[in-house]
Amino acid sequence: MGELKATSMGDISAYYCSCGELLNDCPFWKKVKSKMLAKNFDFSLDQFKTHFRAYQEPFYDRLLRATFRGPFFEAARETGFILCPAAKKIRQHIIKQNRTLIDIICDLQQGLIFLDDSKEPIRLKYLLDAEMWDIRTIHLIRDGRGVANSYMKHNKTSMSRAARQWFSTQQECDRMAKRLGNNRCLTVFYEDLCRDPEDTLKVIHDFLGLATETMSASNQTKHIMGNKMRLGSLQEIQLDEKWRHTLTIEDLAIFEQIAGEINQFHGYK
């Protein structure tokens, strides 16, 4: 169903589920909401309360959402939770909110595996530390120049800011991948997925211990939130390398100076 943290819903009254219904009218999400409320959780379709934030408590909020770093910093963070029992209680409640919602969705969909597309290493850390799930992680990497180009376009910003944003995010993801190791983290390259989706998905299925499925369209109704592409029908997967034609020589030089080393580390020359 997409990103379980559900932080970018916008105007919920005009938000469509991938099934074609407005989210507020979708029978599936109505059932989810009803079951969450029946278990006495504070839950609404415009506020899942599954994101690790403490909006009313600035110090607790910074403790919760600070990016995932090395062992020394993470040990200091855990000390912070010990010294602030209220912050630890907030973290535990959010974990419980996630667990209950995941269980409800899996039950309704008759699923044994839940895919969370939230893309936040610090969120992954908290779910790992909870030891409630057998977690496997897909580390999807794309040429940073393509990511930066997209970030510049959607956020109307400079290459300098876009490159720093990608560098920081990729660095955090790499730290988490190192912590997980190869048994629990599979690195997949965006370009490979686009060029050969069938074989790449087979590798993913093998990693997860699942039977390989074909790319043929499923008749199952899906209830996905997130990117607007969920509302269309995917005819074919196409590699997007617009950055090769839209980035200027100056843009490329700025990117190389800020993030070129880590991009090359991942094999992008």
Distance CA 152, CA 146 (A): 10
- When pLDDT is cut at 50, 70 and 90, the band that residue 217 belongs to is low
pTM for the model stands at 0.91
Distances (CA, A) of 128 to 9, 52, 67: 26, 14, 15
pLDDT at 194 over 60: yes
pLDDT digits (tens, 9 = 90+) for 103-153: 999 999 998 999 999 999 999 999 999 999 999 999 999 999 999 999 999
For 208, the token pair is 């997860």
In this predicted structure, what is the pLDDT of residue 218? 61
Q: Which fold has domain 136-223+231-269?
A: Rossmann fold (3.40.50)
Alpha carbon 3 to chain centroid, angstroms: 6
Q: What is the mean pLDDT of residues 203-210?
A: 94
pLDDT digits (tens, 9 = 90+) for 59-78: 999 999 999 998 999 999 99
Distance CA 47, CA 70 (A): 31
Residues 6+ apart with CB under 8 A from 170: 141, 144, 259, 262, 266
Please state the domain extents for the chain. Answer: 1-135, 136-223+231-269
